[in-house]
Structure 1
Amino acid sequence: MRADEDLAPAAACAQAALAHNLIGRSVRFREAMELVRLYAAWNAPLLIHGETGTGKELVARAVHYLSPRRHRPFIPVNCATLPDTLVESELFGHARGAFTDASQARTGLVRMAEGGTLFLDEVEALSPHGQGALLRFLQDSSYRALGGNQLLHADVRIVAASNVDLRGQAAARAFRDDLLYRLDAFRVALPPLRERLDDLPLLVPHLLAKAAHATDGRPRGIDAPGLALLAAYGWPGNVRQLEHVLLKAHVVCPGAEVGVPELRRSAPELATLPAAAGAAATPPLAQDLRAAKRAAADQAERCFVEDWLARTAGNISEAARRSGVERAALSRLAKKYGVKSHPQ
């Protein structure tokens, strides 16, 4: 096998990771991604907690596509958009004539997600009535369409997300504690960007590449002062805010590298930061692009090895056969990253 063939599966894994924007190597981020890979294999409800812009839906999609349910639907819904009077109809569907405007039967979101995953974003926005309806479904996965008589059963995994402290909400009686216990079987907490600024050398090149793809197709990098300026800011809007700033900076950049002038022109909040402060904040982790690519490749290789060995219960021979990687190469990668395996 050629050396480039040895890295081909890792490259595929890296592309999958990039597609979900799950980029990072900081300790807290890697811990969260470990839980994502671990919890993906199970059917119990999962609660994702994180500030706005940290990528909760991206994590929910990753859980779905890493799971045995990956070939079935992923249905997202923002609970803040569900009218209280129609929440049961939206979730479980309704029969014709169930209410005044029900001129025909309608399939609910639960039925649409059959065999797959139903993602409930901003679950804290559900009214008490909606919380009660969801709790009844979670108890035994059975439901009735509004106005229907038939008791139906759904094979659906529930993944919920919130940007508020649901435990605090439950303590304040603003959220049902019995529903929280059902949703919180597994939990993934996503760190805010300000607590993982060492991921900027990986995130920024990826987001600039994404900006190029969405606009003129011209790849642009970022210079060291520009990266230092980004590291000096607190990012209340997290990765989503960073993505929008870099998109604007890409558009106004006349050259091959985004720098401090383009960033300040694109984000007034950055204009108040002195350049000296940005330079002083340059983390030792602000590596050059080559080091960032190597770190991303290492992360992708580890992800690939862990995934295949998890699928085959650590059987290195079976993992090599199913993944198309030579056994010796896969064994080397397992040893490199300390992933446990056995020969047969």
Structure 2
Amino acid sequence: MKDFIRILLVTSDDQYQAWFDEAHLVYVLQRVLPGVTIEFDRVSNPSVTCPRSPHVLLLHHQPAEPSSTQRLADVAGRWPDVPILGLFAAEHGRRPQLVNGVPTELNDFVLCPVDGDELALRIGRIFIAGRNSTPYGIGRAQRVRIESLVGESLIFQAQVEKIPLFADVDATVLLQGETGTGKEVFARAIHYSSARKDHAFIPINCAALPDQLFENELFGHVKGAYTSAASEQGGLVLEAEGGTLFLDEVDALNPYAQAKLLRFVQYREYRPLGCSRTKLANVRIIAASNHDLRQAVTERQFREDLFHRLNVLAMVVPPLRERVEDIPLLADRFLQRFRRADGQGPRRLSEDAIQKLIAYAWPGNVRELESTLQRAVVMCGSATIQAQDIECAGEAPKTPCLDGSLRAAKTSATMDVERAYLVKTLVTFRGNVTHAAKAAGKERRSFQRLLRKYGIDREAYQNDPTGSSRDCPPPFETPFDGRA
């Protein structure tokens, strides 16, 4: 690999710093590509200004600017062998193949305003792999096909999009999210999409390890290391050699274990108990936490230096209540999985059953939904699961997060209600914004602003997952009075 990478941004927007943070991009790239020197140039007209040939081209496409299309074609023609990454306005990013004038050689694209972390990962991926022969290198064909990664919501797909990016580099990953959201599923997806896929994926539940056994379980011991050590035993690090070590609930480690883990994460060096020699491990580390580690650092419950070592690449797996539009898809997947081996049992969920699932808070997230559907399949005596067949734990009402100030709790509760209402209305009217806005008592434009606010894609509801009629009444009796 080259020991330096030259990046060229081509844009005529003098205010580009409003949507592009050059310093942050360089900082993240230095972590993604350790030991590689980063050189960055920006030009508005490369035909006049002649910088040195870049290794990666960033082309800012502005559809409203007449000369933009020609500039893209000129740049692509000037450096035909240089990987190209397009920067698109958000409204054009969903279907880039329809944007006139985009070079067919385009390797990848991101949306503006640019997420510096995501862009750095994509640049690193292109730089490492070289030019991909398929346009739009992060296309659906390259995404991981993991059965458990079910969901079409924007907030969920934003995390799924990171899997091939994280898989193509070997940096440490920190997954954060509530219990039951599927952090280990994402960790496995990253591992089995990476070059380490033919080696072991070793999960460790840090919360289940007694404090005095952490070193022994992780690093192993030699014969005679302690009284009952009758023979040499390799630890989990040795089992994961060449593969991935998944540290689940890493926030549960005590200060001593955190200190031991810090050196291992930083240098991949360890010493089995009783051994006088240091060993070097060839493993990738993915860590997960149910709690906000940054907050734990603030509260002095977690080492700041260890947090930064783990948080090279970050992913936050959203709770189920923030992606309720995925509940019908997940429920159907679980229903098909738990049907009897002879094909007998319920085949679908009724609309009332779907609505009951959507209305519930799911404190246990996807794991709780899975258990609930398995129980419903057993209890249901017909071909269709009805609402009464679904027993949610305690039938608890959907409650907002009560942490923090009263104002924060009220804001959280309001946002939960608004989002749930929007999703239910779109489900009822199969993604028809005009009908949904009318039922909500809002102007169409105001309703669309709310959809954008919560990252809800109406197209996900155009094929009604509940089988309901277009002429169904609105899901609530009173108009929606949320504020845009």
Query: Could you say which TM-score interval applies, normalised by the shorter chain?
Result: 0.7 to 0.9
Alpha-carbon distance in 2 for matches of 1:141, 1:81: 23
- Offset at 1:29? 0.3
Q: Which of 291, 307, 314 is equivalent to 2:463?
A: 291
Q: What amino acid maps onto 2:295 in structure 1?
A: G
* Aligned residue type for 2:283: V
Equivalent residue number for residue 146 of structure 2:
17
Paired residue type of 1:170: V
Structure 1: distance between partners of 2:354 and 2:427: 11
1:75 pairs with one of 186, 202, 205: 202
1:256 counterpart = 2:428: no
Contact 2:246–2:286 (CA<8 Å) still a contact in 1?
Answer: yes
In the other structure, the counterpart of 2:179 is 52
Residue 245 of structure 1 corresponds to: 372
Deviation at 1:13, TM superposition (A): 8.4
| Structure 1 pair 104–250 and aligned structure 2 pair: CA distance change class (3 A) | same
Bigger drift between 278-287 and 252-261 goes to 278-287
In the other structure, the counterpart of 2:215 is 88
Correspondence 1:184 to 2:356: no
Q: Following TM superposition, by how much is the alpha carbon of 1:45 offset from its aligned partner in structure 2, in angstroms?
A: 0.7
Residue of 212, 233, 256 corresponding to 1:129: 256
Structure 2: distance between partners of 1:32 and 1:280: 22
Task: Say if 1:31 and 1:17 are closer, same or farther in 2 by CA, change over 3 A.
Answer: same
Using structure 2 for the length normalisation, give the TM-score.
0.53
Give the 3-state SS of the residue equivalent to 1:38 in structure 2.
Answer: helix
Deviation at 1:269, TM superposition (A): 3.4
- CA distances 1:193-232 after superposition (whole Å, capped 9, x unpaired): 0010011221111011122268976452101111011111
Q: Secondary structure at the match of 2:145?
A: helix
Instruction: Name the structure with the higher helix share.
Output: 1
Distance 1:260 1:271 in 2: 15
Larger-gyration structure (1/2): 2
C-alpha distance 268-115 of structure 1, shift in aligned 2 (>3 A): closer
Unmatched tracts of structure 2, length 5 or more: 1-138, 399-419, 431-459, 466-484
Letter of the aligned partner of 2:394 in structure 1?
A: E
Alignment counterpart, residue 424 of structure 2, candidates 251, 270, 282: 282
Asked if 2 retains the 8 angstrom alpha-carbon contact of 1:231 and 1:283, the reply is no
Aligned to 2:392: 267
Report the counterpart of residue 164 of structure 1 in structure 2: 291
Q: Let me know the Cα RMSD of the aligned residues.
A: 2.8
For each residue in 1:8-58, what CA deviation from the matched residue of structure 2 results, as whole angstroms up to 9, or x when unmatched?
A: xx999899321xx11001111010111122111111110000001100111
With over 3 angstroms needed to count, the CA separation of the structure-2 counterparts of 1:187 and 1:90, relative to structure 1, is same
Equivalent position SS for 1:76: strand
**CA positional deviation for 1:281:** 7.3
Corresponding residue for residue 311 of structure 1: none
**Which consecutive unaligned segments of at least 5 residues does structure 1 have?**
1-9, 294-344
Rate the CA distance shift 1:11–1:28 in 2: closer, same or farther, 3 A. Answer: closer
Structure 2 distance, partners of 1:112, 1:160, is 17
C-alpha separation in 2, matches of 1:41 and 1:280: 37
Give the letter for the 1:128 counterpart: P
> Which AA in structure 1 matches 2:228?
D
The one-letter code matched in structure 2 to 1:107 is G
Quick check: 1:142 aligned with 2:259?
no
Count of residue pairs brought into register by the alignment: 276
Moved more, 132-141 or 181-190: 132-141
Question: Do 1:144 and 1:150's aligned partners in 2 also have CA atoms closer than 8 Å?
Answer: yes
Shift of 1:150: 2.1
The residue that corresponds to 1:309 in the other structure is none
**Using a 3 Å threshold, how does the CA distance of structure 1 residues 79 and 268 change in structure 2: closer, same or farther?**
closer
Of all paired residues, the percent bearing the same amino acid is: 44
8 Å CA contact 1:47, 1:160 repeated in 2: yes
